[in-house]
Copies of this chain bind each other. A is one copy, B any other.
Amino acid sequence: MYRDKTCGELRLTDEGQSVKLAGWVQRSRKMGGMTFIDLRDRYGITQIVFNQEINPELCEAANALGREFVVQVTGKVTERTSKNKNIPTGEIEIIADGLKTLNRSDIPPFTIEDNTDGGDDLRMKYRYLDLRRPCVRKNLELRHRMAFEIRRYLDSKGFLEIETPILVKSTPEGARDFVVPSRMNPGEFYALPQSPQLFKQLLMVSGYDRYFQIAKCFRDEDLRADRQPEFTQIDCEMSFVEQEDVIDMFEGLVKHIFKYVKEIDFADPFPRMTWHDAMRLYGSDKPDIRFGMPFVEITDLVKGKGFSVMDDAEITVGIVAKGCAAYTRKQIDQLTDFVKRPQIGAKGLVWVKIEADGSIKSSVGKFFTEDQLRQWAEKMEAECGDLMLVMSGDAMKTRKQLCELRLEMGNRLGLRDKNVFAPLWIIDFPLFEWDEETQRYYAMHHPFTSPNPEDIPLLHSDTGKVRATAYDIVVNGTELGGGSIRIHDAELQDTMFELLGFTPERAQEQFGFLMNAFKFGAPPHGGLALGFDRFVSILAGLDTIRDVIAFPKNNSGRDVMNESPSTIDQTQLDELCLRIELPKE
């Protein structure tokens, strides 16, 4: 061992001990006849002192060290005269009596500090140096701790972690697969799994009863800001369960993680909201309920008053910004500009201020009497000092726009504290989505999602109204995961295929393999998958999953550190019976 202590563990109680440390030179400074080195490793930073008078040779050697040199130091733990309260080792320092340079370092292209001077591109190119920064390391430590606690919880509940294959069968439906040419089966391809869905359902058929896996999944999609071509999922499935059992089990998991990783206890059950209420009250199937500010519809109060915008609108709906009546013209203009941005696409924003003295000001004062506006306030429960923000238009679109405005107001009012966590179950999703273009129903989740048993009589008569036995878990406005109870009854499955416009032949062709397995005694089963990268990023208080992945790819799916993907040899292409045909420019 090159060390007997780490750079994070020595305290005043260790005073007088002779120790051996190894690590990286964070920085060095000369003061008077002394040289101070901050020695860093994964566990912390310890100050090393070299004295020019006592040991000039050693001090010279210390002076020659550059940033990020790797050194081994021996010395004695001593109480500091000027203590550093900011770090756990700040009460001691090591008076060095030995120093060995284990390796030199070129000058790193950016500083190895939380507030680094390196830009995003540079840090990604030198990701191995970026990973040295404590803030990045903390994310990966959190990730490790969470994975460990997830496994501890699920193991204690009798779940078995079972590895399913990475080289799987390509399926034409759904998102695009990454494919892997097979040399031994020329002209044929494996796919990388988008999720272990098929295998976990097979494991239920096999009687494994409680399965989980922290599994790599792959999707060849055009990458948006926060997508990665490979990502990690906490994939779970249970047999002999109903929706309530699955929700109970995984609410328990989420609570366990918050408790053992963040020391946050959720005493009460997580709130639940139907998909319908979520859309109606927050304009989103993943509302951020760290704050209220629910939507209030005032459509019937505003229609027929001669204001054509609202007369022609399907709905008029608003939110109340508490205490914002004092907003300036400029502030309100900013909000109007915000909703008019092309990403949101609203035509405008109506505002009504109820001033502290009870008087009313509004952008639609010309069209509505003060009494009428007071009726709005009453319905919306706005009080003196509040600001009402109101939008009109097509129901779905308007709700989505108002949803963005509500989140923006939450940000402005400081209601979205990253250290507050508000989990929420969304239930009763619709089973089907109607597509105007193709004039047919699509499965909102997948064709194996079970309808709510109460709604089975509606399957043919009122298809669009049928609720799924599907559930999502949302934290702070982000979808953490979701799942469903699956259909295990062959007849019901046939009905589903029929409603989704599959001929029996096409159903057999695409799902026949699973359907055949289901013929041999499929138990009732259901499950859920949580996005692990997302879960970590929520607990880390980060906006992107990239920061919780050791070696992420950029938006073009490239690893700029090792320059992959890259070309391969002609020999290998020949072995795979493949030829590249680039499009002519």
Chain A residues engaging chain B, CB cutoff 8 angstroms: 1-3, 22-24, 40-42, 68-70, 102-106, 108, 126-129, 131-132, 137, 140-141, 143-144, 147-148, 151, 155, 160-170, 172, 176-192, 198-199, 202-203, 205-209, 216, 218, 220, 222-223, 229-230, 232, 240-242, 245, 488-489, 513, 517, 519-524, 549-551, 553, 556-559, 561-569, 572, 575-583
Does A1 contact B240, Cβ atoms closer than 8 Å?
yes
Which residues of the partner chain B approach A242 to less than 8 Å between Cβ atoms? 1-2
| A561-B203 Cα distance, complex, nearest whole Å | 13
Does B207 contact A24, Cβ atoms closer than 8 Å?
yes
Q: Which residue of B lies closest to A165 (CB)?
A: B551
| A555-B74 Cα distance, complex, nearest whole Å | 56
Which residues of the partner chain B approach A166 to less than 8 Å between Cβ atoms? 166, 192, 216, 218, 230
Which residues of the partner chain B approach A140 to less than 8 Å between Cβ atoms? 160, 162, 208
Which residues of the partner chain B approach A186 to less than 8 Å between Cβ atoms? 580, 582-583
Does A566 contact B128, Cβ atoms closer than 8 Å?
no
Which residues of the partner chain B approach A556 to less than 8 Å between Cβ atoms? 184-185
Does B128 contact A70, Cβ atoms closer than 8 Å?
no
A68-B521, A166-B192, A513-B562 known; A180-B182 Cβ under 8 A: no
| A3-B148 Cα distance, complex, nearest whole Å | 29
Does B2 contact A206, Cβ atoms closer than 8 Å?
no
Does B164 contact A551, Cβ atoms closer than 8 Å?
yes
Min CB distance, A111 to chain B, in Å?
Answer: 13
Does B128 contact A147, Cβ atoms closer than 8 Å?
no
| A6-B336 Cα distance, complex, nearest whole Å | 60
Min CB distance, A468 to chain B, in Å?
Answer: 20
| A127-B517 Cα distance, complex, nearest whole Å | 10
Which residues of the partner chain B approach A165 to less than 8 Å between Cβ atoms? 230, 551, 553, 559
Does B128 contact A517, Cβ atoms closer than 8 Å?
yes
Q: Which residue of B lies closest to A170 (CB)?
A: B568
Min CB distance, A254 to chain B, in Å?
Answer: 20
| A164-B131 Cα distance, complex, nearest whole Å | 13
Does A131 contact B206, Cβ atoms closer than 8 Å?
yes
| A513-B564 Cα distance, complex, nearest whole Å | 12
| A271-B277 Cα distance, complex, nearest whole Å | 67
User: Can you name 12 A-B residue pairings with CB atoms under 8 Å?
Assistant: A2-B524, A106-B519, A128-B517, A132-B207, A141-B160, A144-B162, A148-B161, A165-B559, A169-B564, A170-B565, A176-B183, A179-B568
Partner of A187, one of B106, B129, B202, B582: B582
Beyond contacts A128-B203, A176-B183: 14 other A-B pairs, Cβ-Cβ < 8 A, are A1-B240, A42-B207, A68-B520, A128-B517, A137-B207, A167-B553, A184-B223, A185-B558, A186-B583, A189-B565, A189-B567, A190-B564, A191-B564, A513-B562
